[in-house]
Amino acid sequence: MTARRHRSTFRYIGKRLIHAAFTILGIAVINFLLLQLAPGDAAEALAGEAGTADAEYMESLRRQFGLDRSLIEQLGAFLLRIVTLDFGWSFRHGMSNWDLIMDRLPATLLLMGASILLALIGGIVMGVIAARNVGRLPDRLISVGALLLYATPPFWIGLMMIVLFSVKLGWVPTGGMYDVIGGKTGFAHVLDVMWHLALPVLTQAFFYLAIYTRLVRAGMLEVLNLEYIRVARAKGISENRIAYRHALRNAVLPLLTVVGANIGTFLGGAVLTESIFSWPGIGRLMFDAMMQRDLNLLLSILVLSSIFVVIANLLVDLLYAVINPTVELK
């Protein structure tokens, strides 16, 4: 029976990957066309910076970037490169787009992983406490707190934290990922990065924390009224064990789907957070690429992040099937 289950799991993954390939191509085409609508191109941006609008210079730049060819030709060339995982060259940075992105990716992954994990732990603890004290003071405090966090724009929280913790109190640095001068290594380096990470992570985490707390609270309230919880009580199981073992695992199932969606939209929020804290991640890179009309780099980021999101969502769905045995992967 388990062998059959394994085989069907592999078939499921295969199907999802084929699906994903088409999704990613679709995303690539749409992004490509959308960016064509944006005013200006790299040649104009470069020429503007060089302080010259000489037609001949721009013409040569365009030829160099392949911008003089027809739209269809450009799209075809772009898709061909994607299929062969060749993301081209960024003239702005003088580096291949792939190298640029891989260089920045760890910082964003670190920010994302840390903030979502923190929000998950906090949200589960808060949500469970609120649900078990429903209507009483702890629930009221947690619910109001979650609502406030949910309603406050993250970038504002970020700026306020810089003002308070960096400028006024001087506890943490205002930005960057590590001490540029210090040149720390080993454990000292890890600590240094965590130090710099604190505020950006909190900024991102607060928003998710609000969502997760509310979801866990609602899920727990629903599950705690179900028949199997009464049965567990009739078995003499302690209330703590009932909450954390019997109810929680069922209550977090809907949460998992939301986490998957949050991973998908993470980059959107990261653009702001990374800009505020000068965090050297993909979001920042994307913002710069946009300002500099480095459309090739921008497209590469969009395509790579869509690949990443698709894979992350597949993992979430697989994980969902692991913690919920009533789900059969098909």
Partner 1 sequence: MAKDTLLSVEDLHLSVSHMPEARILRGVSFDVTRGKTLAIVGESGCGKSVTSLAVMGLLPEGLTKTAGHIRFDGTDLPVTDNEAMRKIRGDRIGMVFQEPMAALNPVYTIGNQVAEVILEHENISRAEARERVIALMREVGLPDPDHIVDEYPHRLSGGQRQRVVIAMALACNPDLLIADEPTTALDVTVQAQIMRLLKGAQAELGVAIVLITHNLGLVAQVADRVAVMYAGRKVEEAETRRLFSAPLHPYTRGLLAATPRPGRRQEGELPLSEIPGMVPSITEDLRGCRFAPRCPLASDICHRVIPEPRMIGATSVACHNTTETEAPA
Binding site for partner 1 (CB under 8 A): 226-228, 230-239, 246, 249-250, 323-326
Report the first-to-last Cα separation within the chain, whole angstroms: 16
| Comparison of 11 and 249: residue with beta carbon closer to partner 1 | 249
Shortest separation between residue 6's beta carbon and partner 1, angstroms: 16
| Comparison of 56 and 227: residue with beta carbon closer to partner 1 | 227
Shortest separation between residue 137's beta carbon and partner 1, angstroms: 17
| Comparison of 168 and 235: residue with beta carbon closer to partner 1 | 235
| Comparison of 11 and 136: residue with beta carbon closer to partner 1 | 136
Distances (CA, A) of 150 to 210, 226, 251: 5, 29, 20
Which of 118, 134, 203 lies closest to 142, judged by CA? Answer: 134
Shortest separation between residue 255's beta carbon and partner 1, angstroms: 14
Handedness of CA 213, 219, 113, 31 (dihedral sign): negative
Shortest separation between residue 206's beta carbon and partner 1, angstroms: 30
DSSP state of 322: H
216 contacts: CB under 8 Å, gap ≥ 6: 123, 124, 126, 127, 128, 131, 248, 251, 252, 255
In a 3-state reduction of DSSP, which class is residue 89?
A: strand
| Comparison of 6 and 233: residue with beta carbon closer to partner 1 | 233
Shortest separation between residue 239's beta carbon and partner 1, angstroms: 8
Q: What's the token pair of residue 32?
A: 């490509």
Rounded Cα–Cα distance for residues 26 and 117 (Å)? 31
